Every structure is written in structure tokens, then in C-alpha cells.
Amino acid sequence: MSIDFLFELERAIEAGKEVFACPGLGRNQWIIGRSVEELRKVAKRAADSRRMAVNIVRLIAKNETITGDLYLVPINIGDPGARGEPSIQWSTVETREAAELMKDVRKGPPPYFGMQIEEVVEPHPSATQ
């Protein structure tokens, strides 16, 4: 199930594994990866598509956030896709209180994550014209 993916992700982050994310091409879509290099190509496509810079972020435990960090919150947890891939729509919010209010609790209380910007990916100059 998609919520199981979230719990596994939370355990990995709490165990000290580095996990990164960047916006995808779809609305409320975020791509989760194990390295910045893995996400750079996706981030570049998203930046070109949106015609604005996008961030590659490091996901951190919500208890490790400091003032100014944002939160990545699962707002719609769907059934897994045909290949078993998680189906989750995400939103970014500024406070822990907002994250608690926005998270999708239909399948139980899911974890959400703090975000720290690792890299900013700019769109190709021709994409902004």
C-alpha cells in the first residue's frame, strides 16, 4: 500500500539514510530519490515545463526541522499503481500545525517530512521566453 511506502520512507530517514525529492511534472507530484544526481534530470524537466526554478530538497524527520524549513505532506494517498508504485499527492506547507491539518488520514495518520533545500534547478533560458 502507498501508506506503507510512507512509513518505510520515515524509517529510512530516521535511520540516517539520505533521501531527496523534487517536484514532478504533474500537479502535487513529487519524485523521491536517493541522490541529488538521480533527481537532477527530473528537476530540469519540471523547471523547463513550469518555466521557473524548482528545488531539489533533502527530506528530514519533522522533529529535526528549524524555523524556516518547509514540510512535505501527503494530502492524498491512493491505491498503488499497476506495478505496485505508490500513488501519493503532496503539498508543501510552512508550519507543523498546517501539516497536521492537511495530511490525508483516511488510511491512518501518515508521516510527513521536513525539507531543506539542497539545490535550485533553473529552467533552460529558452523555456522562459
Which sign does the torsion angle of CA 61, 62, 67, 71 carry? positive
Distances (CA, A) of 53 to 24, 89, 90, 104: 13, 20, 18, 28
Please give the average per-residue pLDDT across 19-28, as a whole number.
94
pLDDT exceeds 90 at position 42: yes
- The percentage of residues in the chain with a pLDDT greater than 90, rounded to a whole number, is 78
Residue with cell 530540469: 44
**Considering the entire predicted model, what is its pTM?**
0.89
Better pLDDT: 72 or 84: 72
Reported as a pLDDT band with limits 50, 70 and 90, residue 83 is confident
Reported as a pLDDT band with limits 50, 70 and 90, residue 76 is very high
Phi–psi pair at 76, nearest 5 degrees: -150, 110
